[in-house]
Amino acid sequence: MIKLNYAQIVEQIKEKAGISEEEISKRVDKKMEQLAGLISRDGAAHIVANELKINVFEAAAGGKMTIKKLLPGMRSVEVVGKVRAVYEVREFSTDRGSGKVGSFLIADEEGMCRVTCWHAQTEKMAGLKEGDVVRVKDGYVRENNGRNEIHLNDRSELEINPPGVEVNVPEGLQQARAEAVRKKIAELGENDNNVELLGTIVQAFEPRFFEICPQCGKRAKPREEQFVCPEHNIVTPDYSYVMNVVLDDGSETIRVVLFRQQLEQLIRKPREEVLQYREFKDKFDEVKIDLLGQLVKIRGRSSKNTVFDRIEFVAQEVDTNPDPKEEIKRLNKGLGNETAA
């Protein structure tokens, strides 16, 4: 079902009826007064639009559109945008089965949004990089933490750098990325996305290495004396890795999960050096000691670990050298204090 909030309805009334926002607000207030509180402000705005013979769901059928016009619940949408950031693909397992999910940010002339790829669509992200132009077709729109996202399933299409297609992103969006929400660990919910934590590492664990298919990156499982990929059958496995640290920000502690790219960012070592710790585990002791007491800024998402019944934080980007002065300014700004130290 298509969902529009009050601001989106007002924007359509302004555009199609040529009425000022102040006038729309007056009409909405009058309608709410007439109905004696039996309707929400969103509902009253819908009635005002109907009385003006404005179809606020006119674009609901989907098709080609800009990011600004996306609405939760839309299906079969087509959007062209320029990639602003690419996040790592991860595997997951639930009671309903296992799969893969990855995401990236795109921007166009009017806005920016996340594109989430499911299962086979993640394989098309392999060579994706910042600055590429992408065209997504037959995606569907969902709302996540107040932001619209385009999701791609097996029926969707993802085309990278289509010939003759250009996207002119305004300067402000060229520099911007979807700003992460700074939270304290104690404030985290079970499914918070695009969150930023600032804290000190108080415990670090050795990385765990596991076999993956060199072609698709899926987990390769042992069968007799060979390794088998669910898509490419018998393979000579490559390796990926994951490690955990415990972060403390003064409000609480939390276990942070770092997969391949984020692990490399944290310990500031390339893949070739990380793989050496698979055979020489004792050499990682020095790395763990260096990590203890280190101040880091980590962007990512929270998730519930049902096995241990606790909230964990999955890293998407790691900054090992945050500027304390800038962080104090940001904290003071968030508190409404203009006299930052």
Q: Is residue 106 part of a domain?
A: yes
Q: Which of 126, 155, 175 is the last residue of a domain?
A: 175
Cα 3 to Cα 107: distance, rounded to the nearest angstrom: 22
How do strand 157-160 and strand 147-152 relate by DSSP bridges?
unpaired
Q: Which of 126, 144, 175 is the last residue of a domain?
A: 175
**Which residues 6+ apart lie within 8 Å of 116 measured at CB?**
101, 102, 103, 149, 150, 151, 152
Q: Is residue 256 part of a domain?
A: yes
In a shared domain, residues 80 and 120: yes
In a shared domain, residues 318 and 224: yes
In a shared domain, residues 32 and 141: no
Cα 294 to Cα 254: distance, rounded to the nearest angstrom: 15
| Residue 284 pLDDT class (50, 70, 90 cuts) | very high
Long-range contacts of 142-148, Cβ-Cβ distance < 8 Å, separation of 24 or more: 142/72, 143/3, 143/72, 144/114, 144/193, 145/181, 145/192, 145/193, 145/194, 147/113, 147/114, 147/178, 147/194, 148/67, 148/70, 148/71, 148/72, 148/113
- Residue with the bigger pLDDT between 46 and 258: it is 258
Residue 33, pLDDT score: 85
Q: Is residue 57 part of a domain?
A: no
Residue 40 has pLDDT above 70, yes or no: yes
Residue 304, pLDDT score: 83
Residue 341, pLDDT score: 36
Residue 51 has pLDDT above 60, yes or no: yes
Q: Is residue 58 part of a domain?
A: no
Mean pLDDT of the chain: 85
Q: Is residue 339 part of a domain?
A: no
Q: Is residue 341 part of a domain?
A: no
Residue 230 has pLDDT above 50, yes or no: yes
Residue 212 has pLDDT above 90, yes or no: no
In a shared domain, residues 81 and 13: no
- Residue with the bigger pLDDT between 90 and 95: it is 90
Q: Which of 151, 175, 199 is the last residue of a domain?
A: 175
Q: Is residue 167 part of a domain?
A: yes
- How many independent structural domains does the chain possess? 3
In a shared domain, residues 107 and 169: yes
Mean pLDDT over residues 85-104, rounded? 81
Asked if 334 and 182 count as a contact pair (C-beta separation under 8 A), the reply is: yes
In a shared domain, residues 287 and 207: yes
Give the largest Cα separation in the chain, rounded: 76
Residue 1, pLDDT score: 56
In a shared domain, residues 94 and 210: no
User: Residue 247 has which token pair?
Assistant: 């972060």
Asked if 301 and 190 count as a contact pair (C-beta separation under 8 A), the reply is: no
The CATH number of whichever domain residue 320 belongs to comes to 2.40.50.140
Cα 59 to Cα 70: distance, rounded to the nearest angstrom: 9
CA-derived radius of gyration, the chain: 24
In a shared domain, residues 40 and 98: no
Nearest by Cα to 74 from 137, 19, 134, 11 = 137
In a shared domain, residues 210 and 254: yes
In a shared domain, residues 170 and 185: no
Domain that holds residue 203: 181-334
In a shared domain, residues 213 and 314: yes
Q: Is residue 170 part of a domain?
A: yes
The DSSP secondary-structure symbol of 109 reads S
In a shared domain, residues 252 and 118: no
| Residue 58 pLDDT class (50, 70, 90 cuts) | low
Q: At what angle do helices 284-291 and 260-267 cross, to 10 degrees?
A: 70
Residue 175, pLDDT score: 60
Residue 323, pLDDT score: 80
- Residue with the bigger pLDDT between 131 and 179: it is 131
